[in-house]
Each structure stands twice: as C-alpha cells, then as structure tokens.
Structure 1
Amino acid sequence: MKSLRFGRQFQLIEELAHDMIKNEVELDNITYSTIITCAKRCNLFDKAVEWFERMYKTGLMPDEVTYSAVLDVYAKLGKVEEVMSLYERGRASGWKPDAIAFSVLGKMFGEAGDYDGIRYVLQEMKALGVEPNLVVYNTLLEAMGKVAKPGLARSLFEEMVESGINPNEKTLTSLVRIYGKARWARDALQLWERMKSNGWPMDFILYNTLLSMCADLGLVEEAERLFEDMKASEHSKPDSWSYTAMLNIYGSGRNVDKAMKLFEDISDLGVELNVMGCTCLIQCLGRAKRIDDLVRVFEFSLEKGVKPDDRLCGSLLSVLSYCEGEDLDKVLACLHQANPKLVAFIKMVEEEKTSFEMVKQEFKSILNDTSVEARRPFCNCLIDICRNKDTTETAHELLYMGTVYGLYPGLHTKTSDEWCLNVRSLSVGAAHTALEEWVGTLTKMVERQEALPQLFSANTGAGTHKFSQGLPSAFALHVRKLAAPFRQSEEKAGLFVATREDLVSWVQSRSLAATA
C-alpha cells in the first residue's frame, strides 16, 4: 500500500483495502492512514473523507498524520465547521496537534479572511507549546496578507527571526506583498536593506514583487536601485516582468526618454516584451504625443507575437481621445489591427444619421466582447472621443448606457439632507458629461418646484497621487465654464458643494436672463 501511495495509485489501494475487508484481514491505524493520505495526494478529497469516517466508526483513533491529513482535506473542501469539530474532537481524545496541523488551520482561516481564526491558531500554538517552523510562519504570513494585517505580520516576522529561523524567498515575498498592499513603502525598503545585509535569499519573484510595489507607489529612485541590483546579481537577472515593472514606473511618471531607452534595451537583449509592457509604453508615448514611436512599439510587439488584449486596446482608445490630424489616423490604424470593431464604432458615431438605437446595439455588442474590468475604461474613453469630435449628444447617450449597464455604480447617492455626484471613477470627459447631465436634471427639478435636499456635492477625489491625471482641476474649470453654483470645499480637496438656496437662486437668475 505504501508503495502504491508513492505511485499515487489510489484505485489499486482501494481495491486492496476491499480485498482485506472481504478476507477478514483487519485494517489497523496505519492501513487507514495510508489509504487516506494517498487519497489526499491524489486530490480525491471525498474518498479521503469517506475512509476517515469509516475508520472512525470502527473505533480506531487516528494518529497525528491522519488527523493532519484529514484536517487539510476538510479545509480544501471549505468545510470550516467540520475542521473545527474534528480539531476539538481530536484534542479531547488526547491528540496533540503538530506544526503541520496548525499550518493547515492558519491557511484555512487566511483563505476565509478570518482574523479571529488566525489569532486562535497563534493562541493554541502558544498554549500547547508548539514551536512554529518555517512552513507554519510562511502560511501564517500569507494569511495575514489576506486579512490585511501588516502590523501583525511584521510582529510575527520579527518573532520568527528572533527564534533563530531564517526566512526564505517565500517568507520575504509574502511580507513585501503585505507591505506594498498597505502602502508601507518605508517598511518594505527597510526589509530590502536587511535582506542584503543579512544575506537572505533573493529570487526573481521577490525582486519582481519589490519592483511591482515601487511601481504601485511611484518610487522611481528606489526601483532604479533595485533594477541595477538585479542586473548586477549572478542568479536573478531582470526578466520580462522586471522590465515591465520598470516600463510601468517610467510610463506612469511620463519619463518617456527612460522608457524608450528601456525599450531599446529590450530589443537589443532579446528580452520578451509582454502585452503589459507594451501597454505601459503606449500610454507613456501617447501622453508625450510621440505617435511615430508609439506606432513603432506597437508594430514591434505584434512582430514578437504579442496579442493585443482589452487593456492595450484601452490605452490606444485613450490616446485617440486627445489626438488630431495625421496622428489620429496613425493610432486608428493601430487600433484597427487590435480591435476593428472599436474603430467601426468610432466611425459610426461620427455620422449624423446614426440613431440612438444603432449606438445602443453596437455599444452593447462591444461590452459583451470586452472583459468586465475593461468595460468602464472603454466607456470613459469613448465618451472622451465623442466630446473631442463635438458629438456631445452621443457622449451623453454613452454615459446613460454605461450607467444602465452598471459601469458607474455609486455615480449618484441621495440622503434626505444631501445629494452627491461621485465622478472619481470617470475620465475628464465623462465627468464633464455627468456634471452637465446632473445640472440639467437639477435645473428642471427647481423649475418644477420639486422637493430638494439642503446640500448638493460633487466629488472628484483629492487627486493627490504622484501620477494623478488632474481630474479635480479639470472639473473645476468645467464648473466655471457652466457657471454652475458649486464652489470648492475648504475642508476637503476635490469636493464641490452648493446649498439648495445657491441652486435655486442660480436657476432663477438664468431664467430671468433668458427672458430679458
């Protein structure tokens, strides 16, 4: 049976077990344990549970290996209650869980995002005097990341180091991810310095995780130092994802010269340019209006086998929204190779004879062919393109359809005291369209003397991120252009407010001016 388990031959083991039962050869603890652990190794979790329950009915007590294996099986099946019931039953029978069993519990609670469960595991280990090993620490750190507890993760890591256990690549990668998600840049970079000074192991995944964190937080100089470290290392030379992270950093920071130098290095060194790297470059070159370079990068990526995805198409759409003349035609030609349906839609909405029903039908078809996370960016860009082509009516229709199809949840919120327009997830053109739509609706409500709240507010977000696209200032300009009665809040950046009296007075003054 043990030989068959080694070869993952569960069916043969089960047949052998049935032969034993048929011939009245008693199955002991080790036999059942061998059957159950083989089922687990073969991912036959239902079979593992079936044989465990059979074992329990015979009155045999599971050993440590069997308990840990079945706990893991229940956890993988998502049966949290069964796991805890089995754990407590085992404890009551005198079983002392080992580090492996606690690792299973920690992973289960982490997957469930159960912080109290993770604390329970730590308390049980201390109460039973079980010393965590590296596997347990790694499992618990990974769980801390899923419940967003960076402070507890840091304390656990320090406890591990003080106990004399050296972290491995998995430990450090988990901790860096936790710090990056919590935007604890200083802690992550201090950890990197400790890695170097202590000679802790660094691999591709760890380096790339650090680079991705730098990209997310806009830490350009720190990323450059990391990247140079990788190039100087013997075993962790930059790979495709390392270059992609740097392209993301330079692209987001609009450092087009450094981004293009990196692109030349990619070409010369034969590093694979993936679709994400291509997208970052196109965004950067588009903002810098270096359209010829953009076309060169796009053509190069197609030659190297890059298949344009929705995010890359979204970048081309975004560039289109502020292009003119020959540049517009060049970007359209690129987009046509990536997604001809989008180009056909753009050309269709330019035609005066296009009806709302035609726009609605084609737009719905585009959304159905687009991944969920790219649908709102597509809609934003298409609205921007319509506004730039002076087809403002179509821009309003697209915003309406985007709202109907659930692309802008929370655009409008209402309480008895305040109505709010939330445009934080909109592009500049889409935010302008939403403001015009809202002001128009409020004007009609004032004219009809409908009940209104005391306060109105429009929220663009603060726009404080290093790579922010400046929505608050663009929105403020449009408020002034419309002469709308909203003023920027002194207490909160990116918030525009108006009272009911402001709105009513404004509508009345416009009516008087119109009749004069």
Structure 2
Amino acid sequence: MLNSLKPWDKTLLFFNWVKTQNLIPMETIYYNVTMKSLRFGRQFELIEGLANEMVDNGIELDNITYSTIITCAKRCNLFGKAVEWFERMYKTGVMPDEVTYSAVLDVYAKIGKVEEVMSLYERGRASGWTPDHIAFSVLCKMFGEAGDYDGIRFVLQEMSSLGLQPNLIVYNTLLEATGRAGKPGLARSLFEEMVDSGVTPNEKTLTALVKVYGKARWSKDALELWERMRSSGWPMDFILYNTLLSMCADLGLEEEAERLFDDMKQSEHCRPDSFSYTAMLNIYGSGGKVDRAMELFEEMSDIGVELNVMGCTCLIQCLGKAKRIDELVRVFDVSIERGIKPDDRLCGCLLSVVSCNDIEDANKVLGCLERANPKLVSFISLMNEEGTGFETLKDSFKTVLTDAKVESRRPFCNCLIDICRKRNMQERAHELLYLGTTFGLYPGLHNKTTSEWSLNVRSLSVGAALTALEEWMTSLLNIVGREEALPEMFSAYTGAGTHKFSQGLANAFGSHIEKLAAPFRLSEDKVGCFVATRDDIVSWAQSKVQSPALTP
C-alpha cells in the first residue's frame, strides 16, 4: 500500500497513521518505501527526519536507505548533506551499491573535489564495484570541465578494460569534454566510433560536435557534418541549427549561413527563431551588407519574430559603420518600443558609433545613448569641457566603470579614447589611457625582460593603440636621454584577426609609426608584430632631442 500511494504526502500520512496505531512493528523496508516516495517530491528534510528516527529507535539503515537519502540530497543540490550521509554509511560498514557510488561521484565532481572523486573511484573498484555508464559519464564531465585530456583518455581506457561500450549519454559527455579540452581530432574519431558501433546520434550529440568544430575553426568539417546529417536523416533542432549559424557568424561564412537559414525556413519543425535571425544580422552586419540586414529587420517585424538586444546591437553596429545614422536612430527607437532593455554591449556599440562620426551625427547617436546610459553621456560632456580637472575626470570615470560590467569596462575606455582623438583632444586621450591602465583595464600592455621590451596593443582600439604608442615612444625617448640600460630588442604587437571580416590594427598602427618616424618595421617572422633594435631606438631618440613632442 505504501508503494502504491501517490503523491508523497499521502504516503507519509498513511505511514504516520500506521505507526500511531501500532498495528505492526516498524521495519527498515517500510521506511525505505516511504523515503523513496518522499524522494520523488524532493522532501529531503522529511527523509532525514525519518532516518534520524530510525537511528533513535534502533532500526537498521541498509544500503537502500542510505542510497535513497544520498540521491535525494543530490537531487535537492544539498551536496554537503549527501557527502555527510555517505561518510556515515561508510562508518557503519554498509557497502555502497552502483547507484550510491555514481551519485556520490557526481556530488564530489559538482563541488570540485577531483581528488576525492578519484579516491572514491579507486576505493570502489578495489571493493569489487563495477562502474556503470552513469559513473563514467560523471568522470567524463568532470575531466572535460577541467580540460583534462589525460583524464578523458583514462575514462576511455577504463571502459575498454571492462568491455563496456559507451552509450549515447557517455558519448555525448565525451564529445563535450573533448571540446573543452580542445581536442577536435579526438572528438571526430569518437563520433565515427559511435556511429560505427550502431549508436545513433541525437540533437545533443551533433550540437556538441558542431561546437567542438566551431571552436577549433574547423568550418569545413562542421558543414560536411551538416550535409551528412541531412542525408542520414539524423535529428536536428533549434539549438543545433542555431549553433551552426553561430559558427558561421563567428567565421564569416555568409553563403553557408544563408543555405542553413533557408533550410530552416523550409523546415516544418525548426523555423527560424529570434536567435537564428540574430545570427544572420551578425553575419550581414559584419560583412557590411546593410540592405540585407535591414530586410531581415523588416521581415522580423512582419512575421512577429522578436528582436533581442543582441540582434539590435548587431544591426546598430552595421548601420553605424555604413554611417546611416537616421536609420540607426529609427531602429533604436523601434527596439525600445518593443521592450528591448539596452545592456552594456549595446551601449558600447553606440559609443563606438559616436567615436567614428562627426559632431552632428554623433549627437544623434548620443541622444540614443542618453536613453540607455545617461551617466556615460554625462561623462562625455564632462570630458569635453576644457575646465575639467584630472581628479574630477578620474572620479567621474571611476563611477562609469563601477556601473559597467567587468567585460565592458575596457571597450568603454577604448571608445572614449577614440572619441577624444576624433575631436582632437589628444591630451584627454592620454589621460584616459593612464586612468584605464591605473584601473587595470589593460593588463599586459607592457612587458619587460632583460633581452626585450614589448608593447601589446591587441586589446586596444585603434585610437587607444596609437595613444599607447605615443606614450611608449615618449618614455623611450626619456630613457635614452637619461642613458639608462636598454634591452637588445623592442617589439610592438597588434595581432592579426582570423575572422574573414577582421580589419585589425596593423595598418593603422603602421601608418602612425611612419608619422612618428619611429624606427619600427614589420617582422618577417611574426604577423602583426613591429620590431626595432636597441641601436635603432638610440639613433631615433638622438635625432629627436631637439623636438621631443611625438603627437602628430
């Protein structure tokens, strides 16, 4: 009767009634059945209360009792309680079963106790426990999140030694793990092994593999997988399609994305959603296809697909680059009317557009930014005032940074420096670069060893990078003037974007080096790297003694 009653509260009510009537002596099995019912309802406190009652009344807690307590604690995310009861189980000499071992392995993994996981695994194996697919899935996930390639290989070897063929869940976990470990080759071989063994991939399998390929920039493999999926009739869902579209957006694969998008439109079950349209807006925006992006925007309105803040940001960025400011303002107004709440990324995008336009158009964009982030606009006004002192600027800038998310602070600073340079406020640009460096926004900007001094401007905008170059050259000029020791080599690194549409810094940086008549030249061995020798720097500095100012 206890086993047949549902839901859990009826089971508990009947169980308590039986106890009060003293009809039969209470045994372990009755508590176990009641606890299992309570576990379905995630009622850990009631289960723990019954367990303590068993202890007080001298009723034995067996393997099933402990397993039920531990698995319920795990389901309720009470990991500390799960560990506590597992340790009590061991102290009483009750041996865990497969379910308990797997549950506790998962608990230890979730709280990051890798050593305890391996210790428990080895202890269980020594006691004769044979791990199941669930246990191996837990190990795969743990090693994957840590990016531990050796750990993943260990799991594969253990399963092979036991003659245990991975099932769909284990394969999916392994594929996700190989992606985090950065091993696309292993992921591909695992997938082929999976198909050859007769295990049919599902949407989660294919999504995991596409993510691995996308992260490794294996676009050809990802698109070949898509064709194979279509021909084999493997299941596809929104997440899988959108993952493929996202990869195309990251790699600038416009034609391939259009094929995927059209395929979604013809699908009965996976019609494009907000994320699909956002990926396409990103692709067209990155490629400067303004008209196509606007067509998509109008199409979304016509068919009722909701525009999200990321899609709005992509579209505004595209319109800003094309200097179609009036349309930008209209898109922003429509987005606000539709309930879009501007985030830091959208504000950063508007700020970037301001930095690229003359006063009249910049003011239109500032009107949008005023509605999204009034404090940021107030700082720009303060920055533009000649009478603003450095300490006032510092305090106001600190407030702007405090209100922004950590990942948005450096882009904000970059754009503000760009605005200063656009408006010929060079001194203010140098002040902002100094404040950005002081507040830790540009770690790794300068690096010194005994043999080489370097400037790394990869994380800077063009304006900020040119400002950093000017600062560095002035510093080197002063060091040479003081006859301090110098290393043999100097380098300035702009990096080189791998995205099809990436413009990079190298061209602008190289042009500015020419304007400064600085002695750097492009490295033949390293892309996006400018180098100079100690003799080059000294000779240049000596020629600048009479005119040390470096700002063009």
Shift of 1:258: 0.9
Number of residue equivalences: 514
Shift of 1:486: 1.7
Which residue of the other structure, out of 292, 295, 300, is the alignment partner of 2:329?
A: 295
1:316 maps to 2:345: no
Tell me the alpha carbon deviations over residues 3-35 of structure 1, each in whole angstroms, 9 at most, x when there is no partner: 222222222323333333333332322232222
Shift of 1:176: 0.7
For 1:144, what is the secondary structure of its paired residue? helix
Structure 2 unmatched ranges of 5 or more = 1-33
Which residue of the other structure, out of 136, 139, 151, is the alignment partner of 1:102?
A: 136
Shift of 1:101: 1.2
8 Å CA contact 2:286, 2:318 repeated in 1: yes
Counterpart of 2:319 in structure 1 is 285
Which residue of the other structure, out of 196, 199, 222, is the alignment partner of 1:162?
A: 196
Counterpart of 2:292 in structure 1 is 258
In structure 2, what is the Cα distance between the partners aligned to 1:376 and 1:453? Answer: 30
Letter of the 1:278 partner, please give it.
Answer: C
Counterpart of 1:246 in structure 2 is 280
8 Å CA contact 2:261, 2:272 repeated in 1: yes
Between 1:83-92 and 1:264-273, the stretch displaced more is 83-92
In structure 1, what is the Cα distance between the partners aligned to 2:431 and 2:270? Answer: 51
Shift of 1:279: 0.6
Tell me the alpha carbon deviations over residues 442-498 of structure 1, each in whole angstroms, 9 at most, x when there is no partner: 111122222112222211113453212342111111111112222222333322222
In structure 2, what is the Cα distance between the partners aligned to 1:107 and 1:510? Answer: 60
1:15 maps to 2:69: no
Counterpart of 2:380 in structure 1 is 346
Shift of 1:112: 2.4
Between 1:10-19 and 1:109-118, the stretch displaced more is 10-19
Between 1:303-312 and 1:18-27, the stretch displaced more is 18-27
For 2:430, what is the secondary structure of its paired residue? helix
For 2:491, what is the secondary structure of its paired residue? strand
For 1:511, what is the secondary structure of its paired residue? coil
8 Å CA contact 1:428, 1:475 repeated in 2: yes
1:487 maps to 2:518: no
Shift of 1:56: 2.1
Matched residues, percent identical? 75
Shift of 1:441: 1.1
For 2:544, what is the secondary structure of its paired residue? helix
1:68–1:428 CA distance, 2 compared to 1 (3 A)? same
Tell me the alpha carbon deviations over residues 324-367 of structure 1, each in whole angstroms, 9 at most, x when there is no partner: 14212211111111111111111212221111111111111111
In structure 2, what is the Cα distance between the partners aligned to 1:468 and 1:234? Answer: 36
For 2:496, what is the secondary structure of its paired residue? coil
In structure 1, what is the Cα distance between the partners aligned to 2:153 and 2:221? Answer: 23
1:117 maps to 2:129: no
Counterpart of 2:448 in structure 1 is 414
Matched ranges for 1:105-504 at <5 A: 105-463=139-497, 465-504=499-538
8 Å CA contact 1:463, 1:472 repeated in 2: no
Letter of the 1:42 partner, please give it.
Answer: C
In structure 1, what is the Cα distance between the partners aligned to 2:497 and 2:177? Answer: 32
8 Å CA contact 2:489, 2:532 repeated in 1: yes
TM-score, structure 1 length as denominator? 0.96
Letter of the 2:71 partner, please give it.
Answer: T
Shift of 1:171: 0.8
Letter of the 1:232 partner, please give it.
Answer: Q
Shift of 1:210: 0.6
1:63 maps to 2:68: no
1:452–1:199 CA distance, 2 compared to 1 (3 A)? same
Shift of 1:143: 1.4
**CA RMSD in angstroms, aligned pairs only:** 1.6
8 Å CA contact 2:521, 2:530 repeated in 1: yes
Shift of 1:199: 0.6
Shift of 1:204: 0.6
1:449–1:194 CA distance, 2 compared to 1 (3 A)? same
In structure 2, what is the Cα distance between the partners aligned to 1:455 and 1:27? Answer: 72
Shift of 1:256: 0.8
In structure 1, what is the Cα distance between the partners aligned to 2:114 and 2:319? Answer: 51
Between 1:393-402 and 1:8-17, the stretch displaced more is 8-17
8 Å CA contact 2:250, 2:499 repeated in 1: no
Tell me the alpha carbon deviations over residues 173-203 of structure 1, each in whole angstroms, 9 at most, x when there is no partner: 1111111111111111111111101111111
In structure 2, what is the Cα distance between the partners aligned to 1:413 and 1:22? Answer: 66
8 Å CA contact 2:149, 2:181 repeated in 1: yes
Shift of 1:512: 5.8
8 Å CA contact 1:463, 1:494 repeated in 2: no
8 Å CA contact 2:495, 2:504 repeated in 1: no
TM-score, structure 2 length as denominator? 0.90
1:508–1:52 CA distance, 2 compared to 1 (3 A)? closer
In structure 1, what is the Cα distance between the partners aligned to 2:484 and 2:67? Answer: 74
Tell me the alpha carbon deviations over residues 390-417 of structure 1, each in whole angstroms, 9 at most, x when there is no partner: 1110000000111111111111111222
In structure 2, what is the Cα distance between the partners aligned to 1:54 and 1:510? Answer: 77
In structure 1, what is the Cα distance between the partners aligned to 2:480 and 2:56? Answer: 87
Between 1:74-83 and 1:346-355, the stretch displaced more is 74-83
